[in-house]
Structure 1
Amino acid sequence: MAARDDILTRPQIDAALADLPDWRYRLGGLVTVFKTPTAAGALALIADVGRLAEESDHHPDLDWRYNRVFIRFSSHDVGGEVTARDTGAAASVSQAAAAAGAEAQPGLYRSVDIGIETADAGEISEVWRVALGYRKGRFGHLVDPYGRGPGVSFRQGPTPDGNRLYVDIHRSKAESGPVLEKVAATGASTNSDHAPHRVVVTDVQGNQLCLCTEEGHGPDLGE
């Protein structure tokens, strides 16, 4: 198992991303989407990513949707954080994608979590973990060990409000502005007290969701 001093801080991640324009930071990982001209091109890119992963012994989470390939790199041996292995792997994949004529569309990579307001996370987290078949992840969150389902996070406080369940939708800050404008145009109310980390959206029936970005997130920021 790698030492935790391999984990990159948010400033280090941001510095690396300056040279990785195809990628975004997201909840302990680096994410992107590549669009290829054809579905066959996507399969060929997947084969290239697999070959690179085998050569480096560092494997991403990968999802194929017709001519788009969704990719996430994270170092699971240090608790699901970003290391230099991830930035190196991301650079190699970008080179392979460019050679394949693929277009990077990182703004398409959205992550969804279920948030639960609670006065005592320890009292309820095991119920959710067992029912979902999840494992405990970073900062007490629950995660699907196969990366398929939404994560579950617990926002602990002495007086949870009436809406205890909500949805966290994570997008990159670079792509969040137009989404916020469109959401506001639906008639929903927004609370930007914690922006750009998160904006709380309440629909006309009182249901809440949070539009979140990578700001305020990181291994050194108590994400």
Structure 2
Amino acid sequence: MPNNDVITQDELNTYLKELPHWRELPGAIATVYQTRTAAEAIELFSDIAGAAEMDNHHPDVDWRYNLIFVTTSSHDVGGQITTRDIALASKISERAEALGAKPRIDLIGTVEIGIDTGNPEAIASQWAAGLGYKFLTDGSLADPNRRRPAIWFQETRTPNDNRLHLDVWLPDSESQPVLAELEASGVGADAESAPAFTVITDSQGNRFCICTEAGRWPDAG
């Protein structure tokens, strides 16, 4: 399918104002709904499947008792967000609201694995072969079934001693309580690049980043 329905960052920001239950994650938009019962969650799951079949555009849906986690992206154009994702998100929200499902913005998020390296090309294919991952257009690796964490390579001439770290992606609107709890626990926090990401160092020197969409992706359109 041609990529003429890929939207720009400015367009996405405008669309998300009309989709208050959805947030941006790397290459996708996501939401979480909580129903009163597991049976209602199954009904919502079925409604989402029906909408996806009608649009011939299928999101990733994870059912956990009375919680439905939904992520949608257009994989046929390299994991970018398109007008198809926006249209599907709107339909999903309509069905969730009709069922009385509660949006759980606080549960939206994902985790990626970052690897510090001075030469990504030298190791990327090895990780892809070992995990059965595929390359994305930006050089990162993704699980073809989109169940396991993505891997990206942080090119640096001075890799950290511990070259692997986690990127914990949260909506910017939900990141402050997490950062406050981390600060209270006594970790080290480098907020130089916040709110795009805050580097957290635990008491044993291990690192992870709290990442948000804010200030992250310039508009390429």
TM over 0.5: yes
How do residues 140-151 of structure 1 correspond to structure 2 at under 5 angstroms? 140-151=139-150
Partners of 2:65 and 2:47 in 1: CA distance = 17
Contact kept, 8 Å, 1:9 with 1:219, in 2: the verdict is no
The alignment partner of 1:59 has SS state of coil
Structure 1 spans left out of the alignment, 5+ residues = none
How do residues 1-20 of structure 1 correspond to structure 2 at under 5 angstroms? 1-3=1-3, 5-20=4-19
Partners of 1:217 and 1:80 in 2: CA distance = 16
Partners of 1:106 and 1:67 in 2: CA distance = 15
Contact kept, 8 Å, 1:192 with 1:199, in 2: the verdict is yes
Contact kept, 8 Å, 1:81 with 1:219, in 2: the verdict is no
Structure 2 spans left out of the alignment, 5+ residues = none
Contact kept, 8 Å, 1:189 with 1:203, in 2: the verdict is yes
Contact kept, 8 Å, 2:25 with 2:109, in 1: the verdict is no
Contact kept, 8 Å, 1:171 with 1:212, in 2: the verdict is yes
Range 12-21 or range 154-163, more displaced: 154-163
The alignment partner of 2:158 has SS state of coil
- Partner residue of 1:208? 207
Output the aligned Cα RMSD: 1.1
Q: TM-score, normalised by structure 1?
A: 0.96
User: Which stretches of structure 1, 4 residues or more, deviate above 6 A after TM superposition?
Assistant: none
Partners of 1:61 and 1:216 in 2: CA distance = 26
How far off its partner does 1:206 sit?
A: 0.3
How do residues 70-149 of structure 1 correspond to structure 2 at under 5 angstroms? 70-149=69-148
- Partner residue of 2:40? 41
Residues 122-147 of structure 1, C-alpha deviations (whole Å, 9 max, x = no match):
00011111111111124111111111
Contact kept, 8 Å, 1:135 with 1:144, in 2: the verdict is yes
- Partner residue of 1:21? 20
How far off its partner does 1:161 sit?
A: 2.2
Partners of 1:2 and 1:74 in 2: CA distance = 15
Contact kept, 8 Å, 2:7 with 2:81, in 1: the verdict is yes
Partners of 1:46 and 1:212 in 2: CA distance = 29
Residues 103-139 of structure 1, C-alpha deviations (whole Å, 9 max, x = no match):
1112202210110000000000111111111111241
Contact kept, 8 Å, 2:105 with 2:174, in 1: the verdict is no
Partners of 1:74 and 1:2 in 2: CA distance = 15
The alignment partner of 2:62 has SS state of strand
How far off its partner does 1:220 sit?
A: 4.1
Contact kept, 8 Å, 1:201 with 1:211, in 2: the verdict is yes
Partners of 1:94 and 1:104 in 2: CA distance = 9
Q: How many residues align?
A: 220
How far off its partner does 1:219 sit?
A: 7.5
Contact kept, 8 Å, 1:136 with 1:143, in 2: the verdict is yes
Partners of 1:180 and 1:74 in 2: CA distance = 28
- Partner residue of 2:177? 178
Partners of 1:213 and 1:145 in 2: CA distance = 24
Partners of 1:71 and 1:174 in 2: CA distance = 18
